[in-house]
Amino acid sequence: MSNVEMPYFSLNKYLRDIFGCKVVKLGIDAGFTCPNRDGSISKRGCIFCSKFGSGDFAGDRNLSIKEQLESQKKLLSKKWPRAKYIAYFQAFTNTYASVDELKKKYYEALSVDDVVGIAIATRPDCIDSKKIQLINEISKTHFVWVELGFQTSNENTAKFINRGYENHVFDNAVEMLNKAGIHTVAHIIVGLPHENENDVLSSVAHVCSCGIKGIKLQLLHVLKDTELFEIYKSNQFDTLSMEEYINIICHCIEIIPKNVVIHRLTGDGARKTLEAPLWSLNKKLILNSLNRILKENNIFQGNKLIETCNFK
C-alpha cells in the first residue's frame, strides 16, 4: 500500500483506505497505573513522563470510559459529522491489569456508537500470552493496534531515562504480537539527552527490523514537574532546534520501509506545562516546513534500505 499524495505513508491515509472516511483517535484515561511508578520496577517513572502518564490530552479518569468517549465525540461531531472513532487507551500502561479487567474496559469502549476499534498504549514488559489472546479475540471483530513505548535502542540512554527494561524485552513482545497477527506500533523519542542523529536512526532501524507495522516519532518535550525538567534546568542538555529536528526526521523517513504506517512526525505538548522547546507548539509550521523540505529534496519513505545503513 503506497501513499501517492504524500512522501510518507500517513496514519490518516491508512485509516481512510480501510474505513473510507475520516477516522479520529479519542484519547482516554482508563484508570491504569504503571509498574515503573507503583514500585514493581521503580517509583520514579520514565524521567520525561508527566503526572498524567503521557495522557495529558486524554479524558478525565473520573468519568467512565463511555462518558469520556461520548464527551469527545460531541466536541468533534461538528467538524467531522460522518467520522468513525478509535478509542485510544493512552494514559499510563494499558495492559497493566488482570485479563478480566482489561476485557471489561476494552469492550466498554467498543460498545460506543461509531467506535470501530481500539489502540492500546503499553509497555513491552506488560505483554503476555493471555493478554495477547484477549487482544487477538478483539482483532477478529474490530480494528486494533498495540503501541509499545520503546523510545531508544541505546541501552545507556534507556537506563538514563529509567525506561526499566532492556531492548530484548521489546523484541520479544513484538515477536509475540506479530505471531498473533496483532499490529504493533513503536514509539521513538527524538532529542533525548546526550543522543545524536545516529542514535535516533539506530532506534528507528531497530524497531523496523523487528517487523513493526507502525511508528511514532515524537520530539522530546521537557515538561514541568518531571525529573527531566530538573535535569534540563541544571543545564545538563540542550533541546533540538526546529531545523535540527526536521533534518533528523527527514533521514528517519528515508529508512522506514514503505509499508510501515507513520503515525506521528511531531507531537503536542500541553502549553501550560511545556518548558522546552517552545517552538514545538506551532505544529502547523513544523509539518508545513517538513513537507516543503521533503518535496524540495525529493525525500520519500523507504528510499534508503535499512540493510545498507550503518549508524554506529
pLDDT of the residue at 82: 93
pLDDT of the residue at 52: 75
Cell match 509550521: residue?
Answer: 285
Q: Which of 106, 35, 100, 23 is nearest to 66 (CA)?
A: 106
pLDDT of the residue at 268: 77
% pLDDT > 90, the chain: 88
Q: In 3-state terms, what secondary structure has residue 287?
A: helix
Q: Alpha helix locations (H) across 210-241?
A: 227-233
Q: In 3-state terms, what secondary structure has residue 144?
A: strand
Q: In 3-state terms, what secondary structure has residue 38?
A: coil
pLDDT of the residue at 221: 96
Q: Which residues of the chain have pLDDT under 50?
A: 1-4, 307-308, 310-312
Q: Extract the C-alpha cell encoding 248.
A: 533528523
pLDDT of the residue at 305: 62
pLDDT of the residue at 308: 45
pLDDT of the residue at 271: 86
Q: What is the pTM of this model?
A: 0.93
Identity of the amino acid at 205: A
pLDDT of the residue at 55: 59
pLDDT of the residue at 80: 93
pLDDT of the residue at 252: 98
pLDDT of the residue at 267: 81
pLDDT of the residue at 270: 79
